[in-house]
A and B are shown apart, each in its own frame.
Chain A
Amino acid sequence: MYNAGKIIIGLVVFVALMTFPFWYNAGRAAVAPELVLPTKEKQCVESTSFMRAKHMELIDEWRHAVVREGQRIYVGLGGKKFDMSLQNTCMSCHNEKEKFCDRCHTYVAVSPNCWSCHLEPKEMK
């Protein structure tokens, strides 16, 4: 192999740079965000574990049911009925978007574009 020394040094530098984020952050987990739960309501439409894992699927189902099928009532935990509305139902309890939605969404780096149309509680006041 010609120029073996240069190539091997180059490769070592390349691998070191590429893996820098991994070994630099090794053993240091980012602190999970702390969410502020609503005070006026203790129970969400489904169980906490379900909402944690699948709220995005639920919201997507809701939007399909409301807009395209004209179904507007959701029977949640314990047979309680809810109006399927992000703006009017979800956000009336979760009225601190920055301390609930945003903290997690920022942590996992997802930015849903719901708020370009739906009004967030800040604007509702």
Chain B
Amino acid sequence: MERSRRSFLKIAGISVLGVGAKPLSQALAAAQGSKTGPDPRALPGKRWAMVVDLKKPCPDNCRDCFEACHKTHNVPSMPNPKDEVKWIWNESFPHAFPGQEHDFLDEALKKHPVIVLCNHCDNPPCVRVCPTKATFKREDGIVMMDYHRCIGCRFCMAGCPFGARSLNWRDPRPFIKELNKEFPTRTRGVVEKCNFCEERLAKGQKPACVEACKEKVLFFGDLEDAGSEIRRLLKVRTAIRRKPQLGTMPQVYYLV
């Protein structure tokens, strides 16, 4: 039997439709009966940000925020400073704000240690350079690490102008003082950083550092909510950000 090209193409087209029907119906079925959802307790927020009050002193070198953060997230304390893992730490004013210091800056402010952490930038260079998309920005602005995908290439460390990321050069577990049993540790060869306590936000809690701060130096909230505490603070006080000239749009604000 002779078959024309036209009839062959017709049959081929119908066959392709048939082959595609099963995956399509499966995809539709999966979309309808989604079995996952967010925790109803989660804090609602469209753009999370932090505000640090530099006018308030941390008396007696208070380290409550650091300790709360490191305990919550199983951050190891490495004996060798070269292996150090940093989520939240202190920096001197000239180091935190290069180019924004001058000879006549208030002495108290100049000497004041500056609490620094991942800035959860609006335009994060770490996300752009990550080859595996292990670092990504969530819709609510949190710059997240997916440790399952991290290959330890450290491009993000090179990209971040704030040094907010650390590589686990060694297995961190033996160096964790007290294990938090609800949070995983990291493994050798992955990069880690502050996650704005996204696991706590999902349960309706504020970040551990903010909650632990007795002196009310740290504030956390939703920038898109005009009635939030941080918006009120940013309205009545002058705030600076770290290295704004780089265009990464940091979302940690420092009240001066």
Residues of A within 8 A of B (CB): 61, 63, 65, 67-76, 83-84, 87-88, 113, 116-119, 123-124
Contacts and interface: CB of A to CB of B under 8 A. Distances in A.
B138 A75 contact: no
Most chain B C-beta atoms within 10 Å of own C-beta, residue among A65, A76, A113, A117 = A117
Contacts of A123: 179, 181
A75 B35 contact: yes
Contacts of B202: 70, 72
A87 B184 contact: yes
A70 B141 CA distance: 13
B107 interface: no
Interface size range of chain B in the complex: 20 to 34
Contact of B146 (A68, A118, A119): A68
A73 B41 CA distance: 11
Contact of A118 (B37, B136, B184): B184
Nearest to B136: A68
A113 B187 CA distance: 10
B144 interface: yes
B37 A119 contact: no
* Chain A interface SS verdict (over half): mixed
A116 B187 contact: yes
A71 B186 contact: no
Interface string B87-111: 0000000000000000000000000
B146 A71 contact: no
Contacts of A68: 136, 144, 146
Contacts of A83: 39
Nearest to A61: B36
B36 A117 contact: no
B182 interface: yes
B187 A73 contact: no
Nearest to A123: B179
29 contacts: A61-B36, A65-B36, A67-B148, A68-B136, A69-B36, A70-B38, A70-B42, A71-B38, A72-B38, A72-B42, A73-B38, A73-B39, A73-B40, A74-B35, A75-B36, A84-B36, A87-B181, A87-B182, A113-B187, A116-B171, A116-B187, A116-B188, A117-B147, A117-B184, A117-B187, A119-B179, A119-B184, A123-B179, A124-B181
A117 B186 contact: yes
A45 B184 CA distance: 22
B142 to A, nearest CB: 9
A73 B184 contact: no
A49 B8 CA distance: 45
B12 to A, nearest CB: 34
A16 to B, nearest CB: 44
Contacts of A113: 187
Interface string B3-40: 00000000000000000000000000000000111111
A119 B186 CA distance: 10
Contacts of A119: 179, 181, 184-185
Interface in B177-203: 179, 181-188, 198, 202
Nearest to A124: B181
A71 B37 contact: yes
A113 to B, nearest CB: 8
A74 to B, nearest CB: 6
B136 A117 contact: no
Contacts of B144: 67-68
The 3 closest A-B pairs by CB, nearest first: A116-B187, A71-B36, A117-B184
Contacts of B181: 87, 119, 123-124
Given A63-B148, A67-B148, A70-B138, A117 B185 contact: yes
